[in-house]
Amino acid sequence: MGFIQRYLGRSNIMQKRLNPRFRKTAVTAILSSWCLSSLCLAAQTAVPPPVVTWVNDQATWPANNQTAPSDISPQDKTTKLLVLGSGTPMPNPYRFGPASAVIVNGYPYFVDCGEGWFRAVNRAAVNQHGIDLTQVFALGNLKYMFLTHLHEDHTVGLPSFILGPYKYASSTNKVIMGPPGTDHLVNGIVEAWSADRQEQFEGMHGSPEGSGANAGDIDPDHDLPGPVFEDANVTVQAFKTEHGAFASPLAYRFTAKSDGRVIAVGGDGHYSPGLVQAAKNADVLVIEGVTWDNLKFANWGGGNLDEKIKNISRYHMFPADLKRVQDESHVKEIVMVHEQNFAAPGKYDPLGLQHEMEKNGVKNIHSAVDGDLF
């Protein structure tokens, strides 16, 4: 083995602080605590902007982000999949960067560490009541991280994963594994934040334990496909997938020893035999998706539709690709994250990509939001 061991409301008391032209959009408060800071933002964007670009895409508008997290996990199983971040590289204050947690026997195993990871842990703990996340996210439990690939949007939260718990006196060093380059990335982060680590050691903690990370590369020539981690709770297997020009992006397959539940996390990418293997007869597959019908409205990938098809198809999962993955793997349930749900101006539907997937024959698919439990 390579490694052993949804509701945006607006409070009435806030209406008097809003510009009068926005007061008509105010509603009675049905607030989750996480969205208090969104009130002024919601007011400022109640009127669609005259020009829409990547920085203010329709997917980021308050009206299109009003879904509270749900618990649709099987009640007779203790193994759960928690979506911490469902976002894309596009800046969206309602969706943190790609991140999830496989929870087995109340212990979390994290996959990917996108923007806002530490805050995503808080938001989930405050808003998801299907499981006691205050216990799951005890400081000593924040230890294991599996990276699917090394794009910035999947890894920029690593400094917080490593050092955030240390500020609260955690003595647990992190264990981070992923494709080639992971060791270099993590060592660079630890070195770059050496002043922070040193100050906390000298100023408060008296010990460096908890401020470090042990990282290692999963070798595609020797470790794949196969088990890369095992403990008393879970066996984790890794499989090579395809995503852009990366040599060996990964999908992970978690098999819980307590209840036999199998959860696969595919990261980003299009159809690949490795992804099918990872999802083979799994209970859940966490995977991304991108529209085909509305690809011409994509805010990246090229200046015309042909260029967008050529470029985006190298990186992401169209409906026909996901149908093929499901047909060949027989995965029971699909949790879609990292959605690129492009649409014509004024025609955005938050569930549009899920409906497009279903139209193309994908079954039992869910469009996830941050905090969802499966």
Residue 116, CA distances (Å) to 36, 67, 113, 156 in order: 17, 19, 8, 8
* Amino acid at position 31, single letter: L
With bands split at pLDDT 50, 70 and 90, how would you rate the model's confidence at 44?
A: very low
With bands split at pLDDT 50, 70 and 90, how would you rate the model's confidence at 46?
A: low
What mean pLDDT value characterizes the chain? Answer: 89
Give the C-alpha separation, 193 to 260, whole Å.
Answer: 40
User: What token pair was written down for 107?
Assistant: 């212990």
pLDDT exceeds cutoff 90 at 25: no
pLDDT value of position 206: 87
pLDDT digits (tens, 9 = 90+) for 88-130: 999 999 999 999 999 999 999 999 999 999 999 999 999 999 9
Q: With contact defined as beta carbons under 8 Å apart, do 342 and 294 qualify?
A: yes
Q: State the average pLDDT over residues 194-216.
A: 93
Burial (0-12, 13-18, 19+ Cβ within 10 Å), 234:
buried
Nearest Cα residue to 49 out of 38, 57, 59: 57
With bands split at pLDDT 50, 70 and 90, how would you rate the model's confidence at 205?
A: confident
pLDDT exceeds cutoff 60 at 138: yes
3-state secondary structure 160-192: HHHHCHHHHCCCCCEEEEECCCHHHHHHHHHHH
Which of 46-55, 142-151, 240-249, 350-359 has the weakest average pLDDT? 46-55
Which of 51-55, 251-255, 301-305, 311-315 has the weakest average pLDDT? 51-55
Give the pairing of strands 250-256 and 365-367. unpaired
pTM of the model: 0.88
Give the C-alpha separation, 252 to 255, whole Å.
Answer: 10
Give the C-alpha separation, 233 to 255, whole Å.
Answer: 9
Residue 152 parent element (H or E): helix 152-155
